[in-house]
Amino acid sequence: MIEFEDFLKVDMRVGRVLEVEDFPEARKPAWKLTIDFGPEIGIKRSSAQITNYSRDELVGRDVVAVVNFPPRQIGPVMSEVLCLGASNEQGDVILLAPDTDVALGARIH
């Protein structure tokens, strides 16, 4: 169990995927994502093991990500945010996203 105050420390925001690049250097299949979180946070990069989505399915898609973890080196990529998802029965990651339009950078409560 964690305290509610601990949960509040996790800054989860809505962003929009701008670019999806191949990541052949990754140990497990992954994409390199460029995500826009609006004017307050800006554009961030992420490495994401979400290969059950095609490039076309990801570009323009809204996602939810943790934006206040320290950057993490993933091979040659500095991953600045962690995209959130749930695993289905096949082990694929299903990305979390708002079900209606919200502003880029909107905080998840």
Burial 15-29 (b: 16+ CB within 10 A, else e): bbbeebeebeebeee
pLDDT given at position 25: 87
Q: Cβ(4)–Cβ(19) under 8 Å? A: no
pLDDT given at position 28: 85
Q: Could you list the mean pLDDT of each consecutive 10-residue stretch along the chain, which spans 109 residues? A: 95 98 88 97 95 95 98 93 96 95 96
- The span from the CA of 60 to the CA of 89, in Å, is 26
pLDDT given at position 98: 97
- The span from the CA of 34 to the CA of 7, in Å, is 26
pLDDT given at position 3: 96
Domains of the chain: 11-95 (2.40.50.140)
pLDDT given at position 36: 98
